């Protein structure tokens, strides 16, 4: 089973360096911060969007179902395992389309919705003022610096005894999620980045 996953990871390398995170009971594959695939021990699911949804349905791909306790969530990821096994060229084309859709949607979401720092997840007016006082004027600066550097600058401006929860809030804002959803591994990486 793990051989299949490793084979997929090797195959996906040709589309660019990616990050992996535990998601929906599988492994989320991220390129430039945008998730485009979910890999389980037995399957690969690609993110749909735009015309790609229609194409994946036409090819007979089923949507990913995440079963959690008493609920089932159907997310916009399609099982392309059979296609991957039988037609690597078609799979490559679909993966490229999925990456394009994912990266564009992520960029669009960040630019349209988050023109102000306070509009990012976990952020509010008081935190925006704190960040601006530390010399970070806008969302693009905030995102390009990263959570650890933003925290470092705010700590320099506000004083050393800042709550580490603020670091998690900045990281969640950048990842587009509530800070409490950050994985322990990600928190440890952030703490190491501060050293």
Q: Output the 3-class SS for the chain.
A: CHHHHHHHHHHHHHHCCCEEEEECCEEEEEECCEEEEEECCCCEEEECCCHHHHHHHHCCCCEEEEEECCEEEEEEEEECHHHHHHCHHHHHHHHHHHHHHHHHHHHHHHHHHCCCHHHCCCCCHHHHHHHHHCCCCCHHHHHHHCHHHHHHHHHHHHCCCCCCHHHHHHHHHHHCCCHHHCCHHHHHHHHHHHC
pLDDT over threshold 70, residue 61: yes
- Report the distance separating Cα 125 and Cα 109, nearest Å: 20
- CATH code for the domain defined by 117-194: 1.10.150.20
pLDDT per residue over 131-156, tens digit each?
A: 999 999 988 899 999 999 999 999 99
| Helix 147-158 vs helix 184-194: crossing angle, to nearest 10 | 50
Comparison of pLDDT for 143 and 71, the residue scoring more:
143
If you average pLDDT over every residue of the chain, what do you get? 89
Residue 26 Cα to chain centre, angstroms: 14
> Which pLDDT belongs to residue 128?
95
Instruction: Give me the CATH topology for the region 2-113.
Output: Yope Regulator; Chain: A, (3.30.1460)
Domain boundaries, the chain: 2-113, 117-194
> Which pLDDT belongs to residue 73?
74
């Amino acid at each position: 089973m793990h051989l299949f996953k490793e084979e997929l990871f090797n195959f996906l390398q040709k589309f660019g360096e990616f990050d992996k995170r535990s998601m929906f009971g599988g492994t989320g594959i991220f390129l430039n911060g945008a998730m485009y695939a979910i890999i389980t021990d037995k399957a690969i699911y690609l993110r749909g969007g735009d015309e790609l949804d229609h194409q994946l349905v036409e090819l007979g791909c089923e949507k990913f179902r995440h079963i959690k306790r008493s609920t089932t969530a159907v997310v916009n990821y399609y099982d392309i395992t059979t296609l991957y096994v039988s037609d690597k060229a078609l799979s490559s084309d679909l993966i490229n389309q999925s990456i394009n859709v994912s990266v564009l949607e992520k960029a669009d979401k960040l630019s349209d919705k988050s023109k102000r720092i306070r509009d990012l997840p976990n952020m509010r007016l008081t935190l925006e003022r704190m960040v601006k006082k530390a010399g970070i004027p806008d969302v693009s600066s905030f995102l390009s610096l990263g959570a650890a550097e933003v925290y470092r600058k705010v700590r320099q401006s506000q004083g050393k005894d800042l709550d580490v929860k603020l670091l998690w809030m900045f990281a969640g804002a950048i990842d587009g999620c509530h800070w409490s959803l950050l994985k322990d591994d990600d928190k440890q990486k952030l703490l190491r980045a501060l050293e």
